[in-house]
């Protein structure tokens, strides 16, 4: 395969992945997927280094691409940039050197309520006003000044008379930090953009052109926190429904960034609807209808949403099948593959789900046997993308190599 | 009124439950009766969770009601009672490097409802802290929670530390978290894995039987 030009490889890979996503027959089963820490782990640098040393992060990603040759890079970004997050003072996140002691700890979001239940109306009325004036100062120490400025909707006619607070010390400090922040941020993006160009020159498409979160998780993760949103289903159902309508529009806006990309995939994280988190009735009332509406809007724009169904979804398969066939990818984690294939196979492309524990603690033979088991189960019917079960942090290189090589060889159609 | 209170709490009628507590206190009811009603209701909530009628939202609300009632009633309690019977002691925490707490909190709550004495070490708990607290509390069971894939190795390190401290034979160890499974329990050196909070309670009970 090395005789093909990078451009040919790029086209071949995009064609292969798009066919699988549409449940049509590609030349073989594509293999690529979501990694987090793994390329850096593989290259021998800590997560802290990867968050601080952008050239080192870029080199690590190249090493990963060259060795495993996935059908697409996961992308679109390197680890979050620590210096930038330090400058903006992201209070809702912990990372190595900032709330986490171990240099190799994954960064983690501090789950909490950043909007009170009393503030639903404010958010529903003007989400941007709320995010700017209330949410941002709560999340970022550098953005305290925003709390002093009236909502921009009141700028009309002589509204400008009321924004003198811009000259105040809080807002001046915010301006100073934002200028520093933007410079640092652009440096990081520069490395990103450089990497995307280099990746393309090697013949690898960017796996995901946009990231997104279901409407329920937009409210749950960002605003109300897990405890807040789950109890709001009982305590404030009406307000929650109204906010979910707003969040559905935000979901579509985020996901639409993939429109027109060579591989128009939008990655959708699913967080707060796991089996134990809500009943089927709650899922059908608060979660799925809004997500489904948003997905249909993205599909209409030619985008392929890839839903990251973390944990075990077997009990909800009957609901999530209600989606246009051949237009979407469901990424499986702990859901039993055979049960999922029985329900969705050939209708919805399934991605996954080689257990991460096996990639870490098993042998290449274990991995090959698992891949063979799921490939055999599809009986040559298309609509499968091979991948690890969840975001890849740690694995034995020989195990991961076995997943890639075996799929390339055994996953040929016909 | 006691039965009404049990029903109000178990059925998630928060306002009614708190009104009843106030009314009972005003009528001079023994605070212990109110606490007994609340814990009776918690058992019902736990059972409904086990039967998949209730989920996380209901457990969180039940926990908050329990706390609100406790805050109101406990100061009025004559200092004796409160020495509840326990069927075992559990030390629980999310392992180092991981700050996810929801799963651990649900397991703690259900174990507590099921008459276990629970010592919750919180999140991001280093192996050395597990070891120190095992020496101090002498639990029957150690529960480790983790959501990140790096928790596999961190749990393994924690079990190894417990072994090195010569405490492994004194405790049963269970693990939980969305990505855990039987093979993870084996890799880590734990005694068992629980797929959900109800499974954790079943495991704990089976070990104390």
Last residue of one domain, picked from the residues B37, B54, B76:
B76
A287-290 contacts, C-beta under 8 A, 24 or more apart: A287/A214, A287/A216, A288/A319, A288/A320, A290/A214, A290/A215, A290/A216, A290/A244, A290/A245, A290/A247, A290/A248, A290/A251
What is the predicted pLDDT for the residue at A76?
Answer: 63
Residues B133 and B201 in one domain: yes
B97 min Cα distance to partner chain A (Å) = 5
In total, how many domains does chain B have? 2
CB atoms within 10 A of CB A396: 16
- Tokens representing residue A51 in the block: 């968050």
- Mutate: best of B149, B185, B196, B201, partner A, most A CBs <10 A: B149
- Chain B residues in contact with A355 by the CB 8 A cut-off are 181, 183
Range of the domain at A177: 81-203
Confidence of residue A349 (pLDDT cuts 50, 70, 90): very high
Whether residues B179 and A278 touch (CB distance < 8 A) is answered with: no
B83 min Cα distance to partner chain A (Å) = 30
- Chain B residues in contact with A275 by the CB 8 A cut-off are 196
CA distance A178 to A259: 30
- Mutate: best of A221, A231, A273, partner B, most B CBs <10 A: A231
- Tokens representing residue B33 in the block: 């009766």
A232 min Cα distance to partner chain B (Å) = 8
Beta strands in A150-201 (DSSP E): none
**Closest of A41, A393, A101 to residue B128, by C-alpha:** A101
Whether residues A231 and B61 touch (CB distance < 8 A) is answered with: yes
Q: Is B181 on the interface with A (CB under 8 A)?
A: yes
A105, A276, A278 ranked by CB distance to B196: nearest = A276
Residue B48 scores a pLDDT above 60: yes
What is the predicted pLDDT for the residue at A276?
Answer: 84
This prediction has a pTM of 0.92
Residues B55 and B133 in one domain: no
Q: Does B198 map to a domain? A: yes
B78 min Cα distance to partner chain A (Å) = 33
Chain segment B152-187, per-residue pLDDT in tens: 999 999 999 999 999 999 999 999 998 888 899 999
Residue B200 scores a pLDDT above 90: yes
- Chain B residues in contact with A392 by the CB 8 A cut-off are 149
B80-85 contacts, C-beta under 8 A, 24 or more apart: B81/B32, B84/B115, B85/B115
Residues B142 and B172 in one domain: yes
Q: What are phi and psi of B94, to 5 degrees?
A: -90, 135
- Chain A residues in contact with B12 by the CB 8 A cut-off are 234
Residues B58 and B17 in one domain: yes
Q: Does A247 map to a domain? A: no
In A, minimum Cα distance to B181 occurs at A357
CATH number where B46 lies:
1.10.1240.10
Chain segment A13-38, per-residue pLDDT in tens: 999 999 999 999 999 999 998 889 99
B12, B61, B152 ranked by CB distance to A360: nearest = B152
Q: Does B163 map to a domain? A: yes
B206 min Cα distance to partner chain A (Å) = 22
Chain segment A223-247, per-residue pLDDT in tens: 999 999 999 999 999 999 999 999 9
Share of chain B above pLDDT 70, in %: 97
Mean pLDDT along residues A103-129: 95
A376 min Cα distance to partner chain B (Å) = 23
Q: Does B58 map to a domain? A: yes
Range of the domain at B41: 2-76
What is the predicted pLDDT for the residue at A275?
Answer: 84
Pairing of strands A349-354, A384-388: parallel
Residues B53 and B119 in one domain: no
Residues B111 and B193 in one domain: yes
**Closest of A203, A184, A213, A290 to residue A244, by C-alpha:** A290
Through-space distance between the first and last CA atoms of chain A, rounded to whole angstroms: 19
Chain segment A244-275, per-residue pLDDT in tens: 999 999 999 999 999 999 999 999 999 888 88
Whether residues A226 and B102 touch (CB distance < 8 A) is answered with: yes
Last residue of one domain, picked from the residues B35, B52, B76:
B76
Q: Does A196 map to a domain? A: yes
Q: Does B119 map to a domain? A: yes
CB atoms within 10 A of CB A8: 12
Confidence of residue B77 (pLDDT cuts 50, 70, 90): confident
What is the predicted pLDDT for the residue at B178?
Answer: 81
Q: Which residues contact A132 (CB under 8 A, 6 or more apart)?
A: A146, A149, A151, A152
Q: Does A129 map to a domain? A: yes
Which of 350-369 (A) contact B at CB < 8 A?
A: 355-358, 360-362
- Tokens representing residue A354 in the block: 């080689």
Q: Which residues of A143-157 are buried (b: 16+ CB within 10 A; e: fewer)?
A: bbbbbbbebeeeeee
Q: Does A331 map to a domain? A: no
What is the predicted pLDDT for the residue at A2?
Answer: 55
Residue A1 scores a pLDDT above 60: no
Q: Does A194 map to a domain? A: yes
Q: Does B82 map to a domain? A: no
Q: Does B51 map to a domain? A: yes
CA distance A135 to A219: 12
Whether residues A360 and B187 touch (CB distance < 8 A) is answered with: yes
Q: Does B81 map to a domain? A: no
Confidence of residue A310 (pLDDT cuts 50, 70, 90): confident
Q: Does B173 map to a domain? A: yes
Chain segment A359-393, per-residue pLDDT in tens: 999 999 999 999 999 999 999 999 999 999 999 99
Whether residues A282 and B56 touch (CB distance < 8 A) is answered with: no
Confidence of residue B82 (pLDDT cuts 50, 70, 90): low
Beta strands in A238-368 (DSSP E): 265-269, 304-309, 329-332, 349-354
- Chain B residues in contact with A282 by the CB 8 A cut-off are 55, 57
Residues B147 and B70 in one domain: no
Last residue of one domain, picked from the residues B16, B47, B76:
B76
What is the predicted pLDDT for the residue at B84?
Answer: 63
Residues B106 and B195 in one domain: yes
What is the predicted pLDDT for the residue at B57?
Answer: 94
Average pLDDT across chain A, whole number: 95
Residues B66 and B95 in one domain: no
| In contact, A391 and B151? CB cutoff 8 Å | no
- Mutate: best of B13, B50, B51, B55, partner A, most A CBs <10 A: B55
In total, how many domains does chain A have? 1
B55, B96, B179 ranked by CB distance to A279: nearest = B55
Chain segment A66-80, per-residue pLDDT in tens: 999 999 998 767 899
Ramachandran assignment for A15, one of left (phi > 0), alpha (psi -120 to 50 degrees), beta (any other): alpha
CATH number where B107 lies:
3.40.50.280
A7 min Cα distance to partner chain B (Å) = 35
Whether residues A333 and B56 touch (CB distance < 8 A) is answered with: no
Chain segment A129-183, per-residue pLDDT in tens: 999 999 999 999 999 999 999 999 998 999 999 999 999 999 999 999 999 999 9
């Amino acid at each position: 395969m090395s005789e093909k030009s990078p451009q040919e490889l790029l086209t071949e890979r995009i064609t292969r992945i798009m066919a699988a996503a549409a449940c049509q027959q590609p030349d073989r089963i594509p293999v690529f997927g979501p990694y987090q820490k793994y390329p850096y782990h593989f290259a021998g640098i800590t997560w802290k280094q990867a968050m601080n040393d952008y050239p080192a992060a870029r080199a690590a990603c190249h090493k990963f691409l060259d060795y495993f040759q996935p059908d697409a890079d996961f992308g679109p970004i390197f680890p979050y940039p620590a210096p930038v997050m330090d400058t903006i003072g992201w209070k809702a996140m912990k990372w190595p050197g900032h709330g986490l002691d171990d240099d190799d700890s994954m960064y983690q979001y501090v789950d909490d309520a950043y909007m009170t239940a009393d503030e639903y109306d404010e958010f529903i009325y003007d989400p941007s006003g709320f995010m700017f004036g209330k949410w941002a100062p709560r999340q970022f120490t550098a953005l305290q000044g925003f709390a002093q400025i009236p909502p921009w909707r009141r700028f009309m006619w002589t509204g400008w008379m009321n924004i003198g607070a811009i000259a105040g010390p809080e807002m001046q400090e915010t301006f100073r930090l934002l200028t520093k922040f933007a410079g640092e941020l652009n440096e990081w993006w520069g490395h990103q953009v450089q990497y995307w160009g280099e990746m393309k020159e090697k013949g690898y498409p960017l796996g995901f052109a946009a990231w997104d979160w279901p409407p329920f998780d937009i409210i749950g993760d960002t605003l109300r926190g897990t405890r807040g949103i789950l109890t709001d289903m009982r305590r404030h159902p009406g307000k929650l429904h109204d906010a979910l309508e707003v969040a559905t529009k935000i979901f579509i806006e985020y996901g639409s960034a993939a429109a027109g990309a060579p591989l128009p995939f939008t990655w959708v994280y699913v967080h707060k609807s796991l089996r134990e988190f809500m009943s089927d009735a709650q899922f059908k009332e608060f979660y799925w209808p809004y997500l489904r509406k948003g997905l249909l809007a993205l599909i209409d724009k030619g985008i392929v949403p890839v839903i990251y169904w973390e944990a075990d979804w077997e009990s909800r398969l009957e609901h999530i099948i209600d989606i246009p066939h051949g237009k979407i990818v469901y990424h499986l984690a702990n859901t039993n593959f055979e049960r999922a294939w029985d329900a969705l196979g050939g209708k919805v492309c399934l991605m996954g789900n080689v257990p991460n524990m096996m990639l870490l603690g098993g042998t290449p033979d274990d991995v090959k046997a698992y891949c063979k088991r799921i490939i055999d189960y599809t009986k040559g019917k298309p609509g499968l993308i091979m991948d690890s079960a969840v975001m890849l942090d740690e694995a034995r290189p020989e195990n991961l190599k076995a997943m890639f090589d075996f799929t390339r060889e055994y996953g040929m159609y016909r | 009124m006691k039965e009404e209170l049990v029903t109000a709490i178990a059925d998630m009628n928060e306002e009614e439950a708190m009104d009843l507590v106030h009314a009972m206190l005003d009528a001079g009811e023994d605070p212990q009766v109110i606490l007994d009603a609340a814990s009776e209701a918690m058992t019902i909530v736990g059972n409904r969770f086990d039967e998949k009628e209730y989920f996380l939202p209901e457990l969180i609300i039940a926990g908050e009601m329990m706390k609100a009632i406790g805050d109101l009633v406990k100061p009025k309690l004559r200092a004796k009672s409160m020495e509840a019977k326990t069927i075992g002691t559990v030390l629980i925490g999310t392992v180092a490097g991981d700050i996810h707490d929801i799963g651990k909190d649900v397991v703690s709550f259900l174990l507590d409802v099921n008459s276990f004495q629970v010592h919750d070490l919180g999140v991001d708990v280093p192996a050395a802290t597990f070891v120190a607290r095992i020496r101090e509390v002498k639990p029957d069971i150690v529960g480790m929670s983790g959501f990140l894939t790096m928790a596999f190795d961190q749990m393994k390190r924690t079990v190894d530390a417990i072994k090195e401290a010569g405490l492994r034979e004194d405790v049963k160890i269970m693990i939980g978290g969305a990505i855990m499974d039987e093979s993870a329990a084996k890799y880590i050196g734990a005694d068992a894995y629980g797929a959900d909070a109800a499974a954790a309670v079943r495991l704990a009970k089976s070990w104390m039987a």
